Amino acid sequence: MFHPLIKDTPWPAKAGSRTALGPLPGAASTAAIAELAARADIKRPIVVLVASSSEAHSLERELPLFLADPIPILTLPDWETLPYDHFSPHQDIVSQRLRTLYELPKLRHGIVILPITTAMLRTPPQHYVEGNTLDLSVGDTFEADSFTKSLALNGYRAVETVFEHGEFAVRGALLDVFPMGSDMPYRIDLLDNEVETLRTFDSETQRTVDRVERIKLMPAREFPIGGDATHRFQMAWFESFEGDADLCPAFTEISAGRVPGGAEYYLPLFFEQCGTVFDYLSDNAALILLGDHYGAAQRYWSEITGRFEEYGIDPRRPLLPPQRGFIPVEEIYSQLGDYAVLELKPDEQSPAHARTNLKAPPLLTEADGPGAYQEKLARFIEDHQGPVLLCAESQGRREMLLESLAKVGLHPEACDNWPGFVGSHVDFGITVAPVDRGLYAGPGQPTLICEAQLFGQRVAQRRRRARQQETDTDAIIRDLTELRQGLPVVHIEHGVGRYLGLQILEIDGDPAEFLLLEYAEGNKLYVPVGSLHLISRYTAGDPDTAPLHRLGSEQWEKARRKARERAADVAAQLLDVYARREARVGHAHELDETKWQQFCEGFPFEETPDQAAAITAVKDDMCAPKVMDRLVCGDVGFGKTEVAMRAAFIAAQNGRQTAILVPTTLLASQHHANFRDRFAGWPYTVEVVSRFQSAKDLEHIIARVKSGEIDILVGTHKLLQSDFGFRDLGLLIIDEEHRFGVKQKEAIKALRAEVDILAMTATPIPRTLNMALGGLRDLSIIATPPARRLSIKTFIREHSIALVKEAVLRETLRGGQVFYLHNEVRTIEESARKLGELLPELSIGVAHGQLREQALEKVMSDFYHQHHHILVCSTIIETGIDIPNANTIIIERADKFGLAQLHQLRGRVGRSHHQAYAYLLSPPRSVITSDAQKRLEAIEAAGDLGAGYQLASHDMEIRGAGELLGAEQSGQINQVGFSLYLSMLESAVAALRRGDIPDIDQPLDTGTEVKLHVPALIPEDYLPDITTRLVLYKRIAQANNAEQLREIQVEMIDRFGLLPEPVKNLFTAALIKVRAQQLGISEIDMTDEGGSIEFTTATVVEPAAIVNLIQSDPLCYSLSGSGKLRVKKSLPTLSSRAEFVEALISPWLEAA
């Protein structure tokens, strides 16, 4: 299609020539690039120079559709920082850049996508990347010390556990490393001085995935550090700058072997001569230019020089002149003159050597009512008289389109890609690809139609998502990973004390590890690591004011008893509610499995395991003959909406209506758009009621609801007004349940009689609480964060104009958008005006709750469709608004917000694969309260994903408990701590369910203590990291069966190498404990001369069995008191003790 037009031009063979081809509207430019790159007679790398990073992303997404066979596609990403920035690029970006620079010289055939701004950055010389890449294969001789030294010199960071690119960890004969340019980290297993195995592992679970034969280790940065490199840097610094170098942090940090943020902008000082990206290309590479690359290059250069003039005057951070760090526009275009260049022109007006007859793709939007696009498409195909390929965004969307097109008699055939379609002579085909632009060459010619042409302006916001396992060790690990010295913990028998660290003590000549706790009046308590299950974090209020108890006093006993009484009362109330709910008969929905499957496939992302579990639970509830009353909790953006959509689908399938209740008008319109989108192609009508509508529209909707024409209705509390008579309401979905007031909740209950309810909230109700309630309230918790999102970089800064300008430009230059939060409606317009003066070239929208409805709707819609760069707004954005392209939020007067609110607001960004930034601006530290200071520090520390869960655990677990159990519970929880209160509630609920009365005086079950008098611990030289040791101790102590213990063993061998003897002893004792616990044995103590076994009052071992035992061998066994069996027997080794105990308790276990 395109090659014949240029076959007589000098491109691609004649270096220094220029050829223009056009017009190429829509996706035609991508099709042309793919066709030319795939030709056998153009066997050479084709470098596509585009104007911006966002154009590079689009091109990379669209290319596979137009390629018949895959060919290599390399992208050199932008640093995503501002010129002369204080930040360094994210490790993942550096990793991808190094991989591309490594592969470029070897590329003989393929496509290289290069934003012009990236091409203007100076690069390390080619020999640096090539010469500092290490190859490692199984069987290689391996010097661990010199290897780790060379890793450190190459910029890798030594850590305890490897999670990110550029990190390594050494544990004895195991070495974990996450090489730059690799998709997964590697585990190197050594035998003496030889590489025995190389394995990839999952950085989330730390478990092995696969074996490999060889790996490549690239340098961790684009410049060397340490040794000669540092010396060269220092010499170059003295030549380049005047003044005292020791006063410059960048100089002193790099001299000390550390890398400060923004060190990349000193790249030329590390090398005799820097390179450019063109040095890496093979001689026969050909160039294609796309878009307004020249304008973009000039704008970038003026940005560079402007920032140099603005910031280059600081003597503590001198800057290299622009020509040294970047390539000037004239220089880069003179370099382009050395290649054969093909310029692709998008419009008809541009002059071109070769002209196509392509037209702008036609729009077939559904402007005249839903469903109309099918007729329009049918008419277009009829008039077109040529092949048409329809492109759906995902498999699920494809199924929907197929179904809705079948109604107008259209049955497209499935095609893999565009070349396959053109060659197959199919009249009407359908394929799946993330393409937003069509391709049209006039009547009779092959034409590509994408969803954006059918449904209008649909910015398909895309995210990445990776599968993960559902976690249940989650709670344990979260409980202890944050256990720092000085934090309060609760010991079941002794109350609240402070944790002071781990200590090794000699007991009977054997080393054992203990937790050291400090109680009131400075009393100390040593807790053996085998009893870690008796200890939990104290999460109830401020750790500094936790009520420390006195050892050996009545005080703890009283607090514990009172809390138990309250827990028993609460359990009784909950059971009463539960029994009443179980007695109500609801509607059992029926499900057409094939349609359900089709609907599920329409979900364009990978489900997270938690999400899948929530969906299954909702489906089971609705298909059972009882009334559903389920609460789904999940952090912002963790995918609760999809759960609601599946529920609405089940109701609609059964001809019943769904009402969706949301707290704000904004959220209503977003849900409406999302539901419309998701139900496109299904015969169900989705409508919205909100302040945005006129009285006439409302009447019309009310009439349609009564007649049953509307299947799904989204609305704010207007829905609760009595004039909404649903014909057959089957499901009520309540979003952000905690935002509704008491009166509104009463109105909801009146609606409720036999209606299924699905409530959703972002207040995290901890999974542990859910387990304790044992299903009394149907709860689904979504705690797995979606996608490989990068965590949010959070900064607390004093307000300054320069900082705001930097932050906004850093985001907008990479094609993103910014939320600017100003929470005073009186002065919000003034704030927007000042921003406009500061950044005159950017478009700014203003949104707050007092705007007229239509105005608010328009601003939000414009921002979503990327017509504004900045949205100056109030906290109206706090709930549910989903704009993945906005990845920076600036919050003015952050000291005035609560922790939970700051977390919610910060969750508005970081919803794509870009690094997100949150700036919390506050007045000088001296004028804000210490509480505000603490809140800001807490949110700065919790930058990780799902951090809402840790962070919120402090001020929200209690709130979550209050929401489920009633607020007056908080007092009891404060006394004994959250975890212990839960275990009391759990045992009370279990007792009532069995029909027993909870025994408030019964001692709490503390498990079995096993003493075998051998060293049983995890040695420090096997696992040096204290936190990981603590977590493993706790997991071993809490294991309930042999299977769980085996699982932990396998994991430890995988992560840290073969188990040393003391760890094997620890597992032996743990296994005995697991078995003895089932029998109600409180202590087993065995030495080399025998020992004792102590039973609890509730033991299940029959007295007759013990009497028979003593009678069978009175020299060996005797009873001491009513519950202690003494043993006299020579048991010199650990194995003999373990075998003896096992032989003793096995018959009791069988009898029980």
Enter the DSSP assignment of 182. Answer: -
Instruction: Give the pLDDT score at 999.
Output: 66
Instruction: Give the pLDDT score at 265.
Output: 92
Instruction: Give the pLDDT score at 269.
Output: 94
Instruction: Give the pLDDT score at 948.
Output: 44
pLDDT band (50, 70, 90) for residue 983: confident
96 CB-near residues (< 8 Å, 6+ apart): 75, 77, 181
CA nearest 1030: which of 526, 381, 478?
Answer: 478
Residue scoring higher pLDDT (51 or 786): 51
pLDDT band (50, 70, 90) for residue 636: low
For β-strands 870-873 and 844-847, DSSP reports them as: parallel
pLDDT at 959 exceeding the cut of 60:
no
Instruction: Give the pLDDT score at 789.
Output: 52
CA nearest 631: which of 568, 730, 621?
Answer: 621
In order of their start, the domains of the chain are 77-129+229-354 (3.40.50.11180), 134-217 (3.30.2060.10), 372-455 (3.40.50.11140), 584-782 (3.40.50.300), 792-944 (3.40.50.300), 1026-1151 (3.90.1150.50)
HEC sequence for 1029-1090: HHHHHHHHHHCCCHHHHHHHHHHHHHHHCCCCHHHHHHHHHHHHHHHHHCCCEEEEEEECCE
Report the Cα 628 to chain-centroid distance in Å.
30
Asked if 148 contacts 134 with a C-beta cutoff of 8 angstroms, the reply is no
Asked if 1078 contacts 1039 with a C-beta cutoff of 8 angstroms, the reply is no
HEC sequence for 64-132: HHHCCCCCCEEECCCCCCCCCCCCCCCHHHHHHHHHHHHHHHHCCCEEEEEEHHHHCECECCHHHHHHC
Give per-residue pLDDT as tens, 832-889: 999 999 999 899 999 888 887 677 777 887 887 778 999 999 887 765 567 778 889 9
Q: Please state, in angstroms and rounded to a whole number, the distance separating the CA atoms of residues 101 and 96.
A: 9
- When mean pLDDT is compared across 177-186, 931-940, 1022-1031, the lowest value belongs to 931-940
484 sits in the region (left: phi over 0; alpha: psi -120 to 50; else beta) called beta
CA nearest 204: which of 1033, 784, 773, 834?
Answer: 784
pLDDT at 961 exceeding the cut of 80:
no
Residue 83: burial class (beta carbons within 10 Å; 0-12, 13-18, 19+): buried
pLDDT band (50, 70, 90) for residue 818: very high
Report the Cα 684 to chain-centroid distance in Å.
33
Give per-residue pLDDT as tens, 407-464: 788 899 999 999 999 998 899 999 999 888 899 988 889 999 988 787 765 444 444 3
724 sits in the region (left: phi over 0; alpha: psi -120 to 50; else beta) called beta
Cα–Cα distances in angstroms (integers) from residue 48 to residues 52, 335, 927, 975, in the given order: 12, 15, 54, 66
Residue scoring higher pLDDT (513 or 328): 328
Q: Please state, in angstroms and rounded to a whole number, the distance separating the CA atoms of residues 215 and 135.
A: 6
Residue 315: burial class (beta carbons within 10 Å; 0-12, 13-18, 19+): exposed
Amino acid at 717: H
In the Cβ-directed half-sphere of 305, how many Cα atoms lie within 13 Å? 9
Instruction: Give the pLDDT score at 132.
Output: 85
Q: Once rounded to an integer, what is the mean pLDDT over residues 958-974?
A: 53
Give per-residue pLDDT as tens, 255-293: 988 888 889 999 999 999 999 999 999 888 999 999 899
pLDDT band (50, 70, 90) for residue 822: very high
CA nearest 759: which of 779, 786, 784?
Answer: 779
Q: Please state, in angstroms and rounded to a whole number, the distance separating the CA atoms of residues 665 and 69.
A: 48
Q: Please state, in angstroms and rounded to a whole number, the distance separating the CA atoms of residues 691 and 370.
A: 23
For β-strands 1124-1128 and 214-217, DSSP reports them as: unpaired
Instruction: Give the pLDDT score at 512.
Output: 85
The packing angle between helices 1026-1038 and 474-481, to 10°, is 140
Q: Once rounded to an integer, what is the mean pLDDT over residues 50-60?
A: 89
Q: Please state, in angstroms and rounded to a whole number, the distance separating the CA atoms of residues 969 and 565.
A: 12
pLDDT band (50, 70, 90) for residue 1128: very high
Instruction: Give the pLDDT score at 477.
Output: 40
Q: Please state, in angstroms and rounded to a whole number, the distance separating the CA atoms of residues 243 and 261.
A: 22
The 3-state DSSP class for residue 547 equals coil
Identity of the highest mean pLDDT range in 309-323, 905-919, 960-974: 309-323
Whether omega before 23 lies within 30 degrees of 0, making that bond cis, reads: yes
Enter the DSSP assignment of 418. Answer: H
pLDDT band (50, 70, 90) for residue 945: very low
Q: Please state, in angstroms and rounded to a whole number, the distance separating the CA atoms of residues 614 and 623.
A: 14
Cβ-count burial 171-199 (b if 16+ within 10 Å, e if not) = beebbbbbbbbbeebbbbbbeeeebeebb
Residue scoring higher pLDDT (565 or 204): 565
Cα–Cα distances in angstroms (integers) from residue 328 to residues 322, 332, 685, in the given order: 8, 6, 57
Asked if 116 contacts 277 with a C-beta cutoff of 8 angstroms, the reply is no
HEC sequence for 263-291: HHHHHHHHCCCCECHHHHCCCCCEEEEEC
For β-strands 186-191 and 167-171, DSSP reports them as: unpaired
Instruction: Name the average pLDDT for the chain.
Output: 82
Q: Please state, in angstroms and rounded to a whole number, the distance separating the CA atoms of residues 921 and 818.
A: 15
Angle formed at CA 662 by CA 395 and CA 755, multiple of 5 degrees: 85
Instruction: Give the pLDDT score at 203.
Output: 80
Instruction: Give the pLDDT score at 846.
Output: 92
The 3-state DSSP class for residue 225 equals coil
pLDDT at 125 exceeding the cut of 90:
yes
Asked if 187 contacts 132 with a C-beta cutoff of 8 angstroms, the reply is no
889 sits in the region (left: phi over 0; alpha: psi -120 to 50; else beta) called beta
pLDDT band (50, 70, 90) for residue 1072: very high
Helix, strand, coil distribution of the chain in percent, nearest 5: 45, 20, 40
Written as six digits, the tokens of 806 are: 């930097």
Q: Once rounded to an integer, what is the mean pLDDT over residues 308-325?
A: 91
Sign of CA dihedral 193, 195, 196, 198: positive
Instruction: Give the pLDDT score at 876.
Output: 75
Longest dimension (CA), the chain: 109
Instruction: Give the pLDDT score at 471.
Output: 37
Residue 742: burial class (beta carbons within 10 Å; 0-12, 13-18, 19+): exposed
pLDDT at 467 exceeding the cut of 50:
no
Instruction: Give the pLDDT score at 468.
Output: 35
- What percent of the chain is modeled with pLDDT above 70? 85
pLDDT at 621 exceeding the cut of 80:
yes
The 3-state DSSP class for residue 1120 equals strand
> CB 666: neighbour CB atoms within 10 A?
25
Residue scoring higher pLDDT (497 or 666): 497
Q: Please state, in angstroms and rounded to a whole number, the distance separating the CA atoms of residues 394 and 602.
A: 7
750 CB-near residues (< 8 Å, 6+ apart): none
Instruction: Give the pLDDT score at 962.
Output: 53
Report the Cα 691 to chain-centroid distance in Å.
34
Cα–Cα distances in angstroms (integers) from residue 667 to residues 632, 674, 878, 979, 1012, in the given order: 17, 10, 10, 35, 61
Instruction: Give the pLDDT score at 888.
Output: 93
Enter the DSSP assignment of 462. Answer: -
Asked if 603 contacts 873 with a C-beta cutoff of 8 angstroms, the reply is no
Q: Please state, in angstroms and rounded to a whole number, the distance separating the CA atoms of residues 16 and 33.
A: 20
pLDDT at 237 exceeding the cut of 70:
yes
Written as six digits, the tokens of 297 are: 């290059």
- When mean pLDDT is compared across 224-228, 654-658, 1144-1148, the lowest value belongs to 224-228
Q: Please state, in angstroms and rounded to a whole number, the distance separating the CA atoms of residues 661 and 735.
A: 6
| DSSP line for 852-900 | -HHHHHHHHHHHHTT--SEEEE-GGGGTT---TTEEEEEETTGGGS-HH
CA nearest 234: which of 251, 217, 213?
Answer: 251
Written as six digits, the tokens of 47 are: 């470098």
Radius of gyration for the alpha carbons in the chain, expressed in angstroms and rounded: 34
The 3-state DSSP class for residue 1094 equals strand
Residue scoring higher pLDDT (917 or 403): 917
